[in-house]
Structure 1
Amino acid sequence: MTATLNDTRMKKALRQQQNEINDYTIYSILAHRQHHEKNTKIFERIAEEEKQHYEFWFKITQKEIQAQHWFVMWYLFLVKIFGTSFSLKYLERKEEKAEEFYKELFDIYPESKHIYQQELTHEIELVDMLHDNKLLYAGAIVLGMNDALVELTGTLSGIALAFDKTLIVGITGLIMGIAASLSMAGSAYLESKENPNDDISPATYSLYTGGAYILTTAMLVMPFFLINTMALALLVMFVFAFVAILLYTFYISVAKDVPFWIRVAQMSAITFGVAIISFGIGYGVKYFFGIEI
């Protein structure tokens, strides 16, 4: 490699070299932490590719770079909390701009074409092959969270017009939510037992389902305990529901490569559609029965 880069491209090269050594360190650590042999081999393979990419940039920059400790620890934390599929696909997303930089170097460094292809498809394909327990239980979280969003927003919207006190709405919603979460957890346990999967524990599956339901319930009823004005409490509840939809959809869109905004639109339409219908039912109950509590 005899060609030299201008200052702008050299800065980009150093930045990419830093990314590669960070990624190499992350994948190397993960390879040593795996209990599944398949995962170990995949991580070792990706780590080796990242090391080759680092060496490519070193030949250009002629500078040794160490991994950023804080960056490595942050992604290892994400893997621990959110699982490998989400965390590593999110890690690879940051390399989209790097892929464009590789294109700029095709004529100068032909070797960059091979690395570009690896960055573009190969590493994501390898991550898709990983055994990820947290992603396996994503279905349980979907079940609990979706049901809580639809049922609780609908229930709270309906009884908000039947009752005049936000505290009563909050207490009623909390009681119903706790009861429903226990029911959902039990149903999830039975469903998992009837459809056995060696990688999924029925007890853990039910805990994920019930836990997702009760956490969503707590978030939705909170405004009614903190706010005395019914209209404002309802508005805050809808904002919380939409934030929950955004956060969950972001996780799934990254981990499972599904369209983000399409999924947001679908979940929002179902959740808020049910809420509007329930709101109308609550208005009818209050009008015809004259409930004032």
Structure 2
Amino acid sequence: MNLVQQDINNFIRFQRNEITESILYERLALIEKDTNNSRTLKLIAAEEKSHYNILKKYTGKDVAPDYKRIARFYLLARTLGLTFAIKLMESSEENAHSNYDKYANIPDLQRLAQDEEVHEQKLIALINEERLEYMGSVVLGLNDALVEFTGALAGFTLALNDSKLIALTGSITGIAAALSMASSEYLSTKSEGDDKKHPVKAAVYTGIAYLITVVSLVAPFILISNVIIALAVMLSMALVIIALFNYYYSVARGESFRKRFTEMAVLSFSVAGISFLIGYALKTFTGIDA
């Protein structure tokens, strides 16, 4: 088959993607403790290697993998989880799999496109990762902390009008709320009788998510003496936390980032706005000038 130079260049790019992912999956399989997950990764790696060899028939060249990409996604898998790293890699712009269907006149590439679209997604779906099992607990902790705590700190801002006092009051409130949420999640998980989720682990995930949010939102009031500026920074921090978490969640779960981010941001900021007005109203009506 006669291929123009542009086709050869594309096939070489496809080859690099395939061998890069094959090596990455092999490395991830070596560090994966779960036997089923490790087996799944090895199957994916073998398939990617076979794709590389098919493409090599057309290019006649050996292509070096992208070691920077391997290192980047390996680090993501170790820090943010296997499923997140794999799904992000599969959906990245560097991935050339979606371009296979442009070569309708080459049966081999059509088979590769079908493999990537069907078989690989089924393999990835088999991956069982603990942190995703407890994602609901993390969502509970983050959602409650962001909605409740942004509102509480906004209310404290005008009611107390002292950054250190706001930070102290917020910290006490936040720690107590985190312990309360963790206890509630423990009892809820235990009563549900979910075999996949351990009540203690669910409580820990919820409590840690809540505490991390509390620390992040209280920090501006510790570092900044002007309460209005501290409030603005706190709200910005809340927005960043919402964006980061929902990006992770949308990639790992394959859901819409925009929808989840908008819902969570609108809810948190609406509660913060209402609480700010309530704090101002209480301060005015009671005549207390903190």
Matched, 1:252 2:237: no
Alpha-carbon distance, 1:97 to partner = 5.6
1:261 pairs, out of 258, 266, 286, with 258
Matched, 1:211 2:217: no
CA distance, structure 1, for counterparts of residue 33 and residue 225 of structure 2: 52
Match of 2:88 in 1: 90
Q: Is the 8 A contact 2:13 2:96 kept in 1?
A: no
The count of corresponding residues between Structure 1 and Structure 2 is 290
| Code of the aligned partner of 1:219 | S
Post-superposition CA distance 1:67-93 (Å, at most 9, x none)? 344432332222222222211111111
Deviation of the 1:129 alpha carbon? 2.0
* Counterpart mapping for 1:70-219 below 5 A: 70-94=68-92, 98-107=96-105, 109-219=106-216
Q: Where do 1:7-18 residues align within 5 Å?
A: 8-18=6-16
**CA drift at 1:31:** 3.0
Q: Find out whether 1:285 has 2:269 as its counterpart.
A: no
Q: What is the aligned partner in structure 1 of residue 229 from structure 2?
A: 232
Q: Given the alignment of the two structures, is residue 21 of structure 1 paired with residue 39 of structure 2, yes or no?
A: no
Structure 1's unaligned 5+ residue stretches are: none
Map of 1:4 onto structure 2: 3
- The CA distance in 1 between the partners of 2:141 and 2:62, in whole Å, is 49
Is contact 1:249–1:264 with CA below 8 Å preserved after alignment?
A: yes
CA apart distance, 1:164: 1.6
The answer on whether the counterparts of 1:89 and 1:255 sit within 8 Å (CA) in structure 2 is: yes
**Which runs of 5 or more residues in structure 2 are unaligned?**
none
Per-residue CA distance 1:159-192 (angstroms, 9 max, x = gap) = 1111121121111111111111111122222222
In 2, are the aligned partners of 1:223 and 1:234 still within 8 Å (CA)? yes
> 1:53 Cα shift?
1.2
Per the TM alignment, residue 144 of structure 1 is displaced from its structure 2 partner at its CA by 0.8
Deviations 1:32-59 (A, max 9, x none): 4444443233223212221111112212
Match of 1:220 in 2: 217
Q: Tell whether 2:39 aligns with 1:47.
A: no
Residues 136 and 200, structure 1, Cα contact 8 Å, conserved in 2: yes
Preserved contact between residue 249 and residue 260 of structure 1 (Cα < 8 Å): yes
Q: Which amino acid aligns with 1:216?
A: T
User: Take 1:67 and 1:200, find their aligned partners in 2: how far apart are those partners?
Assistant: 39
| TM-superposition CA deviations, 1:92-150 (whole Å, max 9, x none) | 1126761343133222x221111112223432232122111111111111111111101
TM-score calculated relative to the size of structure 1 = 0.92
Partners of 2:93 and 2:60 lie apart in 1 by: 22
* Alpha-carbon distance between aligned partners in 1 of 2:164 and 2:151, rounded to the nearest angstrom: 17
Question: TM-score if structure 2 supplies the norm length?
Answer: 0.93
Q: Deviations over 1:238-278 (max 9, x none)?
A: 11111111111111111111111011111112111111111
Give the share of equivalent positions with the same residue, in percent.
38
1: CA distance between counterparts of 2:25 and 2:65? 12
